[in-house]
Structure 1
């Protein structure tokens, strides 16, 4: 086995373990608070900080890596300037969202009671500052990755998830549900500190701020904006889940959150297994212009996803209730909570293949330097089809309408991506 494949395998394993600990956090919350107003508040408070982390951090880091590989200017200066750009963007966005805490929360969570809103607000104010550290951590991971330090960035995510849930559990007796706000903040500090020390120890680049809009920084923003919109459109699924579920009875928001995270775990793990093998080959063959091999990789990846996720979907759908009971039913997560979550979980299970396949196919679009079309398809699916389905089915299907919206819109997005790729590149 080549050195690169060993590295890829190790990173994949660490990422899977990190995802498992992220899911463990949801299981622990379910054990402590079940499908209660408190569990709803924890899920609601984390939505916006997580949105900033994944969308802003992911978009700017992807753009940074793209420019880093192509720049002809001094890389050390580019790293300093991009660090300054990412820092200012993270601080500005986070500061605005903290200043306008009440308008922001009431815009998305208008149907909460006064007591629920007070808890969400306290948790939000604990969690929101962590967005700055998380965005910077994502960027530092990018710097380490482009210099071959893959394990450090993967270990940092694992440290964050372990720290988040570990600190929250340790502090629960003293701080109650607010321990999850403290856990989010301190977990981010652990992650950021670990990555910063890794950069310092590696002696790669200085992070001394450098101001001024260079050509490289301008290119970074040109590349980042469509990626930001693409990432935002996918994260809008979660945001819409929170907004709509707040219109139902107490406990629905947390039930939807547990169900989506539960079906998202096998989907993400199995997709990682496929892309870990295929994506490095895709990048190489795209650079060589080998379209025949690219077509084979595309078809092979789709077949792998079908082979892996079709059985997982069948098991999740037909054995939903015993699976939920096995994983969640203890403590405050009662049989009533299991019954609430089961129909939502079943429908979310149907979307596993389509969500994984959409992410996989989009990588081929990015390899073809086409980031606009996937964004357009995502916006149509998430903000158009998804919302329309939810509101059309709410009265008849209750909370399950949220899951149906995800399933139907993800399937529609898949069809659009496949047809366009077939027509454009004969994939």
Structure 2
């Protein structure tokens, strides 16, 4: 399997997901602005979305994929199918129970996270939380299906799936919202419908490879399977290992709800732009590397294991460093061009640019975590990332106490950024200490060339952006879009042109998995 070609395929699907997701946020900004109701929607969606990332996608995937890969490589097909059946039954039933509890306890949950909302926004948030909580159960099945399909090297459907939620949200913001007494409710309805569609698209792909889980009405049947117990045992600590940034984000949401109105939305819009490079590179690489690392670990091939990591880290630095520089230097042009329209004002653009700049400081760390953490999960070692994540979570909140009084919402983003860099540093040190990763020769020269190329690109971006009044072009959207594309295009030419001049070639990053 050509990993670079597979990465390109996954990234293209992820790009489609992120583009439609960005369009969704643009339309929400235009229709609702950065208002109390938008804050209520963001909080209401963040609650089930957090649990989805913790239990369905995050902790579950990290625990399930290495064990499923082991079954696939060492046991019979029937034993592997049985594991998928029993894990699926246990996961779906567990998330159904969580969903019921979430619906009942919605007012208490929203009070804990968004206690600073105005009464009308709070009531709307409770209604939307209850409607969107079943999203957890839908995503549990989607995560199970994605783990199976990725283990079978079927990456495209899992990468495309999020597009369906974005399409539903786009249609709701364009059409459905104008027919509802409370327009923001359309976005919650879109989440529910999108969850159903994401489940539906997995089923034909699973049938095609003969691995559609046969779910049981008996919730206890899976607990009798030793494979399921192994997955659950790994999931416990994995919840903490993958949740540091998410828990910090949830705490930040609570803090932001007590800042100026719209602060949660400012943070959300900045986070949406951060998700582009994070997903295109970090998520895509992590998706590819985890099954390959698990296979190398199962085979005892330490050289292949280290080589895979080295390839992933070089690609990360190659693409994440310029992305971070671009987000920092073009924060206001990006926010203004994408969101400043309708009810989204120039003041909101400036307020959203500040957390985006702060986020860019930690982009490399955020992406590196998604490369380095799977190296531990492939070893079925969850405890090391757990210890690091818990320490970073505490450090992040201490930094909040320092930064927020002076930087407001930007301080929240800066705390997460610095925490991610600390997290990545400890993960790297752990891999080196265990001799699981041995850097190949040439890293100092490689890094020096990247720094030179990024410096040239950053200077180009800063100089070009400074000659355009992005806020004043609100009523000339096509001109603003054209100017932004021109600046980004010039920056790309400068960066990659500098790398080519210094000897970089695309073929140097071609990688075949054994």
Is TM (by shorter chain) over 0.5? Answer: yes
**Cα distance change of structure 1 residues 6 and 412 upon mapping to structure 2, 3 Å threshold:** closer
Instruction: Check whether the contact 1:23–1:261 (CA below 8 A) recurs between aligned residues.
Output: yes
Counterpart in 2 of 1:152? Answer: 157
Match of 1:406? 416
1:405 shift after superposition: 0.8
Q: Which moved more, 1:255-264 or 1:5-14?
A: 5-14
In the other structure, the counterpart of 1:388 is: 398
Q: Confirm whether residue 86 of structure 1 aligns to residue 91 of structure 2.
A: yes
Q: Counterparts of 1:143 and 1:276 in 2: how far apart (Å)?
A: 12
Q: Which moved more, 1:336-345 or 1:189-198?
A: 189-198
- The aligned counterpart of 1:194 is 201
Taking the TM superposition and a 5 Å limit, the aligned residue runs for 1:245-284 are 245-272=256-283, 274=285, 282-284=293-295
Contact kept in structure 1, 2:290 and 2:378, CA below 8 Å? no
1:245 deviates by 0.6
Contact 1:12 1:276 in 2 (8 A): no
Counterpart position of 1:312 = 323
Q: Which moved more, 1:296-305 or 1:13-22?
A: 296-305
Specify whether residues 395 and 145 from structure 1 end up closer, same or farther in structure 2 by C-alpha distance, changes over 3 A only: closer
2:236 matched to which residue of 1?
225
> Following TM superposition, by how much is the alpha carbon of 1:3 offset from its aligned partner in structure 2, in angstroms?
7.5
What SS does the aligned partner of 2:342 have? coil
Backbone CA RMSD of aligned residues: 2.5
Secondary structure in 1 matching 2:34: coil
Which of 424, 433, 437 is the aligned partner of 1:423?
433
Instruction: Give the corresponding residue for 1:63.
Output: 63
**By how many angstroms is 1:219 displaced?**
1.7
SS at match of 2:380: coil
Q: Which residue of 2 aligns with 1:117?
A: 122
Task: Give the conservation status (yes or no) of the 8 Å contact 2:234–2:380.
Answer: no
| Greater alpha carbon shift after TM alignment, 207-216 vs 258-267 | 207-216
> 1:420: Cα distance to partner?
2.2
> What corresponds to 1:164 in structure 2?
169
What is the CA distance between 1:247 and its match in structure 2?
1.1
Sort the Cα spacing of 1:48 and 1:276 in 2 relative to 1 into closer, same or farther, 3 A.
closer
Q: Secondary structure at the match of 1:142?
A: helix
2:41 alignment partner in structure 1: 42
Check whether the contact 2:10–2:284 (CA below 8 A) recurs between aligned residues: no
Q: CA deviation at 1:68?
A: 3.2
Q: Is the 8 A contact 2:278 2:363 kept in 1?
A: yes
The question of 1:31 aligning with 2:41 is answered no
| Cα distance change on mapping 1:307 and 1:347 into 2, 3 Å | same
Q: CA deviation at 1:149?
A: 4.1
Distance 2:284 2:370 in 1: 13
TM-score by length of 2: 0.76
Count of equivalent residues: 425
- CA deviation after TM superposition for structure 1 residue 110, in Å: 1.4
Query: Relative to 1, partners in 2 of residues 1:164 and 1:259: Cα closer, same or farther, differing over 3 Å?
Result: same
Match of 2:309 in 1: 298
Cα displacement (A) at 1:337? 0.6
Distance 1:23 1:422 in 2: 38
Cα 1:217–1:426 change in 2 (3 A) is closer
Question: Is 1:327 matched with 2:338?
Answer: yes
SS at match of 2:434: helix
Shift in CA distance, 77/225, structure 1 to aligned 2, threshold 3 Å? same
What is the TM-score with the length of structure 1 in the denominator? 0.91
Measured after TM superposition, the shift of residue 14 of structure 1 is 1.3
Please list the CA deviations of residues 216-248 of structure 1 after superposition, one character each: whole Å capped at 9, or x if unmatched. Answer: 221221122222222222321321221111110
1:361 is matched with: 372
Moved more, 311-320 or 38-47: 311-320
Structure possessing the higher radius of gyration over alpha carbons? 2
Q: Deviations over 1:6-45 (max 9, x none)?
A: 5554333212211222232222211222221122111111
Residue of structure 2 aligned with 1:142, choices 144, 147, 150: 147
